[in-house]
Amino acid sequence: MSDSRAEETLVRAESNLEEYPLFAVKSRNRRENHLVFERRRLGEDGTELVQRWEVEPPAKLGMPGPFDQDVYLAVLQLLEVRGGMPKNGELDFSLYELRDILGWSSSGNTYEKIRQSLRRISSTTLTSENAFYSKIEERFLSDTFQIWTVHFARTRRGKSFRERHTLRFHPIFIRNYIAQYLKGLDPTFYWGLASSLSKRLYRLIDHQRNGGLVWETDLRSLKQQVPLSNYSYPSEIRRALKGAHGELIARKFLSRVEYSEEGGVYYHVSQDFARRQKARELSGNPRELFAIERLMAEGLRGDVARDLVARSGSEKCLRYADSLDSQRGIRNRAGWLKKAIEEEFELADTLPMMLFESDGAPRSPAPPSDGIPEPVEPDPAAREAWDGLLEALYASSDPDSNLPTWFEGFVPVSLDDAVLRVLAPNTVAADYVRDRFGDDLTRTWRSTAGPDAVLEIKSMQSL
C-alpha cells in the first residue's frame, strides 16, 4: 500500500456524480450502450419535476466500469493532494502519480490501462434534464457535457522521455467545486473495499444519507441509481446486493440493512462511522478556507492542510501559523507547523492569532501601537460604489449563503475617474475574492462606470 493510501484526509467529490450513476459495477455490463436514471420530485413551488440522467459511452471504448470508478477516485485524490480544484480547472499529472494512488504494480500494461480509462471517461457523454444541480445558479440544469478532456504529452530529453499530461475539467464541474457542492469520501475506507459494488454503494449511501444515519429508498430506484442491470425482480436485486451489504456491515460502515414487503430498503449507517466522518468534514465557511490557504502558503500539501483544519479547528491552525516567524532555529517550516498543530506545542512568543467575527468573517488582529499606522479610512465615494457592487452580487446569490462574510474588513479607499481601489484585510482574502468574485464584480462595475472601468483589490499587507 502506497503512502497516499495511508492518508486519512477526506477526498472531496462533486455531489451530483456521487448521486447519479456513471460507472457499471460489473465489467460485463460495460457492453451496454447507455445508462438512464429517471425520477420525479416536488419542486420548490410544489409542482412535479421530472429528472432524467443519461450516460452515453463512446462506442469503441465502452461504458465506464469498475476499473474506471477507481481511476476517477484516484484523480479526485490527486486533486486533494494538490490543494483542490486549480484556478484554471486544469490538473497536470503523470500516470505514475495515479498508479501510486491506485496502489497497482508497474508491471504489464498498467499505464496503458490507466491511459485508456482516462480517455473512456473523457469520451463519455452525460445528459441532464433537470437533474444536475448547479450550486452557484441554485437550479437543476438541462445540459450535455463530459467531466473532463484529457491531453497526453511526451517530450524527449536526451535519451530519456518525460511524460506530463493534463486534465481539463468542464466548467459545470469547476463551478460546483468553487461553490463547495462537494461530499467528503474516506479514501482509506474506499480502497480497502474488495467489491466494486461495495465501493459504489458506499459512495451512494454516504451521500444520500445527508448527514443522517438512515437512507430509505426502494429496490427499483436503487437498481437504476447504482446501476444494477439484468435484474428484473426485487428478489434478484436483493441477491445481487447481498455480498456488498455483507462487506459494508463487516467493515462497520453499515450497522444493518432492512427490507419492507413493499420493496423498500433501509440502510442504517454505523454511528461510529458517521461520527468519525463528521469530525473530519469541513463546513466550507470562510474561517476554514482562510486557514487552509494559510497552511498551504507555508508549504503544507493541500490535503494535509485540510485535514489539520478539520481536526484541530481553524483558529488553532492560524495561531500556530502566525507564530512561525517568532520561532528560532526552524529549518523546515511546514514540518514544524504540522507537528506543532498535531502535538499542541506550547508557544511562549506568539504573534496575535487571526480573529473572526461571530458570523465567520476574518478580522485582523489589532496592530501594535509602536509606529504602526492607524487603520485605513474608507473614501465616501468609493464606499458608495463598492456597496453598490456588493448589493448586486448579493442579489444574484442565495440569501441564506454566507457570502457577505467574505467581504468583512474590505475598505474602499479611492475612486479616481473609473478606477475603484479596495483594500482587503490580508493577502489570502484579497486572492480569494479576486479569484472567486473578481469577474462578476468587474463586469458589474463596467456596466455602471463604462467599458474601461477598473476594479483593483489589494491587500493591506502589500502597502
Q: Quick one: pLDDT band at residue 463, thresholds 50, 70, 90? A: low
Q: How many CB atoms lie within 10 A of CB 23?
A: 27
Highest mean pLDDT among 140-144, 154-158, 372-376: 140-144
Q: Nine-digit cell at 389?
A: 457592487
Section 398-410 average pLDDT: 68
The pLDDT tens digits of the residues spanning 309-318 come to 888 888 889 8
Q: Which among 444, 455, 359 has a CA at the least distance from the CA of 409?
A: 359
Cα–Cα dist 152/92, whole Å: 10
pLDDT averaged over every residue in the chain? 85
Reported as a single tens digit per residue, the pLDDT across 78-133 is 998 888 888 789 999 999 999 999 998 877 789 999 999 999 999 999 999 999 99
What are residue 90's DSSP bridge partners? 168
Of residues 54 and 437, the one with the higher pLDDT is 54
Q: Is 211 exposed, middle or buried (0-12, 13-18, 19+ CB in 10 A)?
A: exposed
- The CATH label, of 1.10.3720.10, 3.40.50.300, 1.10.10.10, 3.40.640.10, for the domain at 193-281 is 1.10.10.10
pLDDT at 285 (0 to 100): 67
- What's the pLDDT at 352? 43
Ranked by mean pLDDT, which of 205-214, 324-333, 425-434 comes out on top? 205-214
Give the Cα separation of 339 and 317 in Å (integer). 11
- Check residue 204 and give its pLDDT: 98
154-157/160-163 β-pairing: antiparallel
What nine digits make up the cell of 213?
444515519
* Least confident range of 70-79, 154-163, 173-182: 154-163
Q: Is pLDDT larger for residue 463 or for residue 57?
A: 57
Q: Under CATH, to which class is 380-462 assigned?
A: alpha beta
> Which pLDDT belongs to residue 212?
93
Banded pLDDT at 6 (limits 50, 70, 90):
very low
Q: Which helix (H) or strand (E) holds 172?
A: helix 171-178
Q: Supply the pTM of this predicted model.
A: 0.71
pLDDT tens profile 261-277: 999 999 999 999 998 88
Q: Give the whole-angstrom CA distance, residue 397 versus residue 391.
A: 10
Label residue 290 by pLDDT band (50, 70, 90): confident
Please tell me what DSSP assigns to residue 324. Answer: G
Q: Where are the domains of the chain?
A: 1-186, 193-281, 282-356, 380-462
